[in-house]
Amino acid sequence: MNTIDRIKVIQARLGLEADGVVGPATLTAIERLMVGSSPPDEKLRLTCSSVGLEWIVKFEISSEAYYNRYLKHPTWSGGESGVTIGVGYDLGFVTVAQMRRDWGGEIADADLKKLEKVCGLKGEKVQTKVKLVSIRAVAVSLENASRVFYTSSLPAFAEKCLKAYPGIEKLPADAQAAVLSLVFDRGTRKSGSSRREMKAMESLVVSADLNGVADQILSMKRLWQDRGFDGLLRRREVEAELVRNSKRDYEPAELVRI
């Protein structure tokens, strides 16, 4: 039995979806089994709702069929983004070393070498310095992409959330997932007129003002209104709804520590 099959057996015994991906849900279930509750940890962590995390994946890839048709190979959406692979993994914001740490073993070494040339490149630099056709042959399966998303991307962005919004770990799990989704999409920069809501959220998170946080997320729609970005508008609406209607009591299976 190979490693992935062994993981699936463990997941099935824990009552989880047996997908072979050792993500936050699997690790959280193992932690509970070992210590009976969330283990003591000096380092703060997010406790997100599984529903909220599922929304992040849906926002990033839409569906498995859509992923396999349009996102399995490297893409560049233009603007100030870099080349994206997997589940929202933007190569424009990582170094070659980081990319290799995250994707080593998930992508063939020859393909990693091709992707090195786009690491750190954003906006027009992608077009001017790289012939995109040269990397289009690289293929990333959704299974491999999911492993990197849950074991590398989400923990990295969770850490960014904790630094950018002190006190976020005290919000309900749905709200934590919503803010994580926002940061995954927009980063943590708070300066400038386009980021005024990101800045305003700081004090609202500290005071656990869920309605205030939700209002600021909705206010961000001004940036994409009537510009053909319906997906982003919908994302902000769902994030705001998650925050505003956050549950106070959760079943253990509904929570994922990141």
Residues comprising the chain, all counted: 258
Please check whether residues 164 and 249 belong to one and the same domain.
Answer: yes
Q: Does residue 192 register a pLDDT over 80? A: yes
Please check whether residues 179 and 202 belong to one and the same domain.
Answer: yes
pLDDT at residue 199, as a whole number: 98
pLDDT at residue 20, as a whole number: 75
For the chain, percent of residues with pLDDT exceeding 90: 72
Q: Does residue 147 register a pLDDT over 80? A: yes
CATH number for the domain including 220? 1.10.530
Does any domain span residue 202? Answer: yes
Please check whether residues 156 and 251 belong to one and the same domain.
Answer: yes
Q: Residue 218's Cα: distance from chain center in Å?
A: 20
**Count of domains forming the chain:** 2
Does any domain span residue 68? Answer: no
The mean-pLDDT minimum among 116-125, 196-205, 234-243 falls in 116-125
For the chain, percent of residues with pLDDT exceeding 70: 88
The mean-pLDDT minimum among 1-10, 51-60, 202-211, 213-222 falls in 1-10
Final residue of a domain: which of 118, 140, 162?
140
- 154 vs 102, 108, 159, 192, 201, CA distance in Å? 12, 23, 9, 26, 21
Please check whether residues 104 and 133 belong to one and the same domain.
Answer: yes
Please check whether residues 87 and 57 belong to one and the same domain.
Answer: no
Q: How confident is the model at residue 34 (pLDDT cuts 50, 70, 90)?
A: very low
Q: What is the average pLDDT score of the chain?
A: 89
Does any domain span residue 226? Answer: yes
Please check whether residues 136 and 149 belong to one and the same domain.
Answer: no
- 40 vs 15, 31, 43, 127, 168, CA distance in Å? 24, 10, 9, 47, 18
> What is d(CA 60, CA 87) in angstroms, rounded to the nearest whole number?
6
Identify the domain containing residue 132 by its residue range.
73-140
Q: Does residue 44 register a pLDDT over 90? A: no
Please check whether residues 149 and 179 belong to one and the same domain.
Answer: yes
Does any domain span residue 8? Answer: yes
Q: What is the arithmetic mean of pLDDT over 77-97? A: 93
The reported pTM is: 0.81
Provide CB contacts within 8 A for 185, sequence distance 6+.
59, 88, 232, 235
- 234 vs 55, 133, 224, 229, CA distance in Å? 11, 31, 11, 9
Does any domain span residue 98? Answer: yes
pLDDT at residue 232, as a whole number: 95
- 157 vs 183, 188, 218, CA distance in Å? 7, 9, 21
Q: Is 26 left (phi over 0), alpha (psi -120 to 50) or beta?
A: alpha
Please check whether residues 47 and 166 belong to one and the same domain.
Answer: yes
Please check whether residues 56 and 154 belong to one and the same domain.
Answer: yes
Q: What is the arithmetic mean of pLDDT over 124-143? A: 88
